[in-house]
Amino acid sequence: MKWYKIFTPELKELIDTKNLKGLRLILGELHPADVVDVIKELEPTERTIAFRMLDKEKFAEVFSLFDPEEEEELLRQFTEHKVKEILLEMSPDDRTHLLDELPASVVNKLLKLLPPEEREEANILLNYPSESAGKVMTTEYVTLKTEMLVSEALERIRKTGPDRETIYTCYAIDENRILSGVVSLKDIILAKPDQKISQIMQENVHKVKTTDDQEKVAKVIQKYDYISLPVVDSENRLVGIITVDDILDIVEEEATEDFHKMAAMQLPEEKYFRSGVFKHVSGRVVWLFVLILASTISGKILQQYTVTLSSIITLAYFIPMLTGAGGNTGSQSSTLVIRAMATGELMLSQWLKVLWREICAGFLLGLALGGTAFIIATVFLRDIKLGITVGISVATVVLVGNIGGATAPLIFRCFRIDPAMVSAPLITTILDVTGIIIYFEIAKRILSI
Amino acid sequence: MKWYKIFTPELKELIDTKNLKGLRLILGELHPADVVDVIKELEPTERTIAFRMLDKEKFAEVFSLFDPEEEEELLRQFTEHKVKEILLEMSPDDRTHLLDELPASVVNKLLKLLPPEEREEANILLNYPSESAGKVMTTEYVTLKTEMLVSEALERIRKTGPDRETIYTCYAIDENRILSGVVSLKDIILAKPDQKISQIMQENVHKVKTTDDQEKVAKVIQKYDYISLPVVDSENRLVGIITVDDILDIVEEEATEDFHKMAAMQLPEEKYFRSGVFKHVSGRVVWLFVLILASTISGKILQQYTVTLSSIITLAYFIPMLTGAGGNTGSQSSTLVIRAMATGELMLSQWLKVLWREICAGFLLGLALGGTAFIIATVFLRDIKLGITVGISVATVVLVGNIGGATAPLIFRCFRIDPAMVSAPLITTILDVTGIIIYFEIAKRILSI
């Protein structure tokens, strides 16, 4: 049981008995992420009361933790004044995330509520390409000047810090907002008060462009263990930062995207319950459609072997084993390679090493599985010649499947297609066709049909 | 091209011309993660020279960024004095990570190099279960006392901070090391110098136990956007912290683990190139073996329909389409459900909602794909009765596959088995058998064989 379920009855009672002071106290103590969990357990009317007990800062924080669909729903229930307050209090990256999911007409109405300056900023952020650094960055960071003393810098951090996303990394900029260095709060704290920022700052700054993909941002933060990363525009001016807590969500999002691609789907951004059944189905049916057409090829090929098949009908029994062995081996080796490429361990340039490794592995796997298949088929049919046919076929299909599965992601990457598009069903379907051809060709020769 | 490849010739020249001062300067400027990339490009003799140019602190940092296998290799090349220096400089979590991968005999030799206190600590950390909070935590954090003034706390942070993993979250403990509160450096900076720590600290501290799984740690940090999380022992004493940068690696590791399970493998911890070919193969063969045995069942079932099959041999042409459609639909729906469970979006208690959703989706998908199959089969064979047989079979198999794929992870979770174990090949193989039975039973009825 989740802890907040213990909490809910208590809150409900406070609401029932109109003990608003107690309610305010408890909600004030809770972390915004916990407030969300608790509020989701309440009835709509109770929810409204609970919302009203939050101060506007916490209100905005709690609000931004809901899913965009739920946020849209909530916005409709609030007064215009409240909506404006929330929009102003939300951090710019959370606001972009919300506006990005809303229909254009609603966005326009909401933007009109903002003062000109905020409206312009929101508009700029909204116009960056999706999944780009510009789209996920926040504009609330601490800037310093290079000629500032450490004591002055601390003073500035104290003044501007409270409503910044992070104060642990500060950015030194010149009069044109060009990024000239980065300094951590740790370095500031450990430095002498009369040192200059230019003396303690790091000048070689890792930064990303607004148009860079969020996956690149995640890789940089992960590699260098940063807490935040600066984002610059095409003229090298500092326009935002991305913090590590957003990166955690991105890493998970990207992994989910790869997962879905591997299962042959085009539902990268949706959460499971978020999309309606029709959208859910339409995202899946395209690929299933392609795959069912592809499997027609297997049928066409089987038709060509009608003579072979009808003279020895028992050959049909092993079609599932043959296609299964190839498909399973192939999807294993492609998963290993796709994943190693996604985490950055494996580069395209290492294709020869991968090929050699999977040829060796394929031989060993083929030997083991072909041997097993030979024994099964011989015992099953009491016919050693058929057993040999099945055994050799399985061994060959496993070898081919293993090499094909491992090289397909490399070939895709070579043509600049995302390797994760080499989905398990795609590999399986291709190897079905290959497997059937190999099987019947070997059968024709060994059984001299 | 990676940027460090531009860098390598310059470094090589500095080494060739014995310009050690220049070399030291450049390596000193580079981030440890970049030093690793550059050093990997050098020849072994050049490497030794480059290593010697690093001061001992950076040396330890660079060293801990290599893979454990490479670390083991490097350790063999260093003098005993150097090894001792590295071990002492490494942060406790990096050291545990290294020792954990080495053979016991080497570990014992290395531990003997450490002073008693460090040795004991290393031993304790090594003995936590693998993938537990204790195994990944570090013991280098800043502790404060609740009665300290903010100014005193800052003084203490300045003194103890330099060699701590993070100073951005500090932990207030009592005389028994019981954790009594947590205070961020932000709060300390923004507070007045004469305030007491007890006044500004957060008393409701989220913490994990040493034995908690690292996945739980990742979920807490992700939910609350923490920079670090305290780890306590069974008596609630603070024994370590886990920082967000380690969590990034854990999130990726866990996603890889789920990926590999889905492709039916037991290679959770290995990187692609890390394991030898034999180990690589042995990790994969077990599952392939199980799957090939399972596919024998398909053969056995086909055997039962020999009469049906030999009277209308054309039925065989559609076996790959039938099994494919079921398997693909099932692996799609299971992927969606597994992923939603892994990210915490979907709970076991929502099984009814999932079931209903996938029944609806299955009907729609079955209608679309069954219709397609009917058209293909009718055109292909010019026989409307066979077309109807194939169409109805595909529709039924898709519906069954969709429901089966979505509920299997839920059933697994119910029996406390990791849902990610519902691998695509497993689903495919089970649905192969089901598909064949459905197909031939429908065929027998419609074609009255």
pLDDT along chain A (449 residues), means of 10: 70 87 87 88 86 88 86 86 89 89 87 91 91 92 94 93 89 92 93 93 91 92 92 93 91 85 68 77 84 88 88 89 90 88 84 91 95 93 92 96 94 87 83 92 89
Query: Nearest residue of A to residue B314 by CA position?
Result: A303
Mention every residue, 6+ apart, whose C-beta is less than 8 A from residue A364.
Answer: B277, B278, B281, B285
Whether B340 sits inside 8 A of A432 (CB atoms) is no
The ipTM value here is 0.81
Whether A340 sits inside 8 A of B271 (CB atoms) is yes
Task: Say how many domains are in chain A.
Answer: 3
- Nearest-by-Cβ selection for B376 from A247, A296, A368: A296
Q: Which residues of B touch A345 (CB under 8 A)?
A: 271-273
Structural domain harbouring B86: 4-128
Please tell me if residue A195 touches chain B, with a CB cutoff of 8 Å: no
The CATH number linked to B58 is 1.25.60.10
Q: How far apart are CA A394 and CA A439, in angstroms?
A: 8
Q: Indicate if B332 and B357 belong to the same structural domain.
A: yes
Return the pLDDT at B3. Answer: 63
> pTM of the full predicted structure?
0.82
Q: Indicate if A111 and A160 belong to the same structural domain.
A: no
Q: How big is chain B by its Cα radius of gyration, in Å?
A: 30
Q: Indicate if B419 and B293 belong to the same structural domain.
A: yes
The CATH number linked to B316 is 1.10.357.20
The CATH number linked to B182 is 3.10.580.10
Interface of B with A in 302-361 (CB under 8 A): 302-303, 306, 309-310, 313-314, 316-321, 323-325, 327-329, 331-332, 334-340, 343, 345-346, 353, 357, 360-361
Q: Would A91 be classed as within a structural domain?
A: yes
- Angle separating helix axes B244-262 and A244-262, nearest 10 degrees: 10
Return the pLDDT at B266. Answer: 63
What pLDDT, in 10s, does the model give residues B307-355? Answer: 888 888 889 999 999 988 998 899 889 988 988 888 878 888 888 888 9
Q: Indicate if B379 and B238 belong to the same structural domain.
A: no
Regions of chain B where pLDDT drops below 70: 1-4, 266-270
Q: Indicate if A435 and A287 belong to the same structural domain.
A: yes
Buried residues in A155-193 as b, exposed as e (16+ CB within 10 A): ebbeebbeebbbbbbbbbbeeeeebbbbbbbbbbbbbee
Interface of B with A in 399-428 (CB under 8 A): 424-425, 428
- Nearest-by-Cβ selection for A272 from B168, B264, B336: B336
What's at B422, amino acid-wise? V
Q: How far apart are CA A146 and CA B95, in angstroms?
A: 38
- Nearest-by-Cβ selection for B332 from A227, A265, A432: A265
Task: Name the minimum distance, in Å, from the CA of A281 to any CA of chain B.
Answer: 6
Contact A133, A214 (CB under 8 A): yes
Q: Indicate if A13 and A80 belong to the same structural domain.
A: yes
Interface of A with B in 373-402 (CB under 8 A): 373, 376, 380, 394, 398
Contact B168, A228 (CB under 8 A): no
Whether B161 sits inside 8 A of A302 (CB atoms) is no
- Nearest-by-Cβ selection for A33 from B224, B340, B432: B224
Return the pLDDT at A266. Answer: 64
Q: Indicate if B247 and B286 belong to the same structural domain.
A: no
User: Domain ends where: B128, B153, B169?
Assistant: B128
Q: Indicate if A85 and A168 belong to the same structural domain.
A: no
Contact B181, B205 (CB under 8 A): yes
Return the pLDDT at B1. Answer: 44
Q: Indicate if A27 and A159 belong to the same structural domain.
A: no
Best residue in A284, A305, A439 for a mutation probing chain B (most B CBs within 10 Å): A284
Return the pLDDT at A368. Answer: 95
Whether B263 sits inside 8 A of A343 (CB atoms) is no
A382: left (phi over 0), alpha (psi -120 to 50) or beta: left
Task: Name the minimum distance, in Å, from the CA of B170 to any CA of chain A.
Answer: 13
